[in-house]
Structure 1
Amino acid sequence: MGTLLSYSSINIVDLAICPNQHASAMFTPPNNAMEGAMPLIDVYLSESVLDVEDRQVLADAIARQVREAEGYGDSRLAAGLSWVYLHALPDTAVTKSGAAPARPLWRIEIATPIGSLGADSKAALAERLARACLAAEGTPWSPAEGRRVWVLYRDVAEGDWVAGAEVARVEAIRSAVARERVAA
């Protein structure tokens, strides 16, 4: 599995990874901000590529890489706000030019607050995520192999992160993470 890490602050629910109550209890944002999921990450892969345990480890590694790229590092609060949805598709549901691909194809979609990641950060993160996917499937890294992993970014405007009826304010979350670091 390479250097993939697991975070104990994230639990598996079916194939969706959601924050646990401990991380939720830590988040007390100011200014009426709510506890939403930021970033939201979708990982699409063929179901035969990894077993459920390896998918969990990969999802944790992907979430960690995104948090690091956003500047949140190992914040438990940020870990609790990072949701990864794994979409393990039937092998016949992924095609290349109308036929089954010779090697597994991956798609990762990442929604983050606008301005969280610059163009250089996105390029560097995409390579790290491609390396993680290839390592998980047991394939050595090469740029050619890395092109089997597509990473798509969606920058979400302030005010467009809404869960329930509350808007998640990015600055409130950043302030809460800063308070967490000071308290540590």
Structure 2
Amino acid sequence: MPMIEVTAVTGSIPEAKTPALLDELATILLRWEGAPDTEFFREITWVYLNEIDPARLAVGGRGGGEPRFRVDITVPEGALSQRRKAGLIADVHTAVVTAAGLDPNSAQALHVWTLIRDVPEGNWGAAGQAIAFADLKNAAAAARESSNGGGPG
């Protein structure tokens, strides 16, 4: 049940590149979580792009200048090790920089910030009930097993 919210100044990501970026971000997150890329897991992986008017961004309390990107990633606590978080941050950065047409070695590439928020067990709910991370892990294992034909017999 991961969620990604990208907040950027309107027009920072060309409209034609937006659908591919949103799909790529979901793919990246599923991969780093170790979840199978199935319809079930895609259905519970939400990606939002929140565009804001340039006048609504201030840097140091002043007009924002060059575009900035904030990528908030919310996952159940325990879903990502530190190694996985580092890989996720690197891949998300590359995806956003590429979609925005920025030089990855430029100062503008420093304007892509990624925040990972771990939601403690019992603090994430869906369909009116708390969701246990163990249930998601079991669903992922079952999906992997069924895609492998049930494993060795």
Whole-angstrom CA distance in 2 between matches of 1:100 and 1:57: 30
Q: How far off is 1:143 after superposition?
A: 6.9
> Aligned partner of 1:162: which letter?
G
Q: Could you say what the CA RMSD is over the residues aligned between the two structures, in angstroms?
A: 1.9
Q: Indicate the SS of the match to 1:147.
A: helix
> Aligned partner of 2:70: which letter?
R
Equivalence for 2:52: 89
Whole-angstrom CA distance in 2 between matches of 1:131 and 1:99: 27
1:44-86 Cα shifts (integer Å, max 9, x gaps): 0111112444222211111211111111142332111101121
1:86-132 Cα shifts (integer Å, max 9, x gaps): 10111221222234444321001111011111223222211211111
Whole-angstrom CA distance in 2 between matches of 1:138 and 1:114: 33
Equivalence for 1:173: 136
Q: Within 5 A, what are the aligned runs for 1:51-70? A: 51-70=14-33
TM-score (norm 2): 0.85
Equivalence for 1:31: none
Q: Within 5 A, what are the aligned runs for 1:1-184? A: 38-142=1-105, 144-184=107-147
Whole-angstrom CA distance in 1 between matches of 2:21 and 2:71: 12
Q: Residues 102, 73 of structure 1: CA spacing in aligned structure 2 closer, same or farther, 3 A cutoff?
A: farther
Q: Residues 165, 132 of structure 1: CA spacing in aligned structure 2 closer, same or farther, 3 A cutoff?
A: same
Q: Identify unmatched segments of 5+ residues in structure 2.
A: 148-153
TM-score (norm 1): 0.72
Whole-angstrom CA distance in 1 between matches of 2:132 and 2:36: 19
> Aligned partner of 2:122: which letter?
G
Are the aligned partners of 1:75 and 1:181 in contact in 2 as well (CA < 8 Å)? Answer: no
Whole-angstrom CA distance in 2 between matches of 1:127 and 1:143: 15
1:10-60 Cα shifts (integer Å, max 9, x gaps): xxxxxxxxxxxxxxxxxxxxxxxxxxxx10211101111124442222111
Whole-angstrom CA distance in 2 between matches of 1:163 and 1:118: 24
Q: Identify unmatched segments of 5+ residues in structure 1.
A: 1-37
Whole-angstrom CA distance in 2 between matches of 1:131 and 1:152: 15
Deviates more, 1:164-173 or 1:147-156: 164-173
Q: Residues 116, 87 of structure 1: CA spacing in aligned structure 2 closer, same or farther, 3 A cutoff?
A: same
Q: How many residues align structurally?
A: 147
Are the aligned partners of 1:131 and 1:146 in contact in 2 as well (CA < 8 Å)? Answer: no
Deviates more, 1:48-57 or 1:127-136: 48-57
Identity of aligned residues (%): 28
Whole-angstrom CA distance in 1 between matches of 2:143 and 2:82: 28
Q: Normalized per residue, which structure has more helix?
A: 2
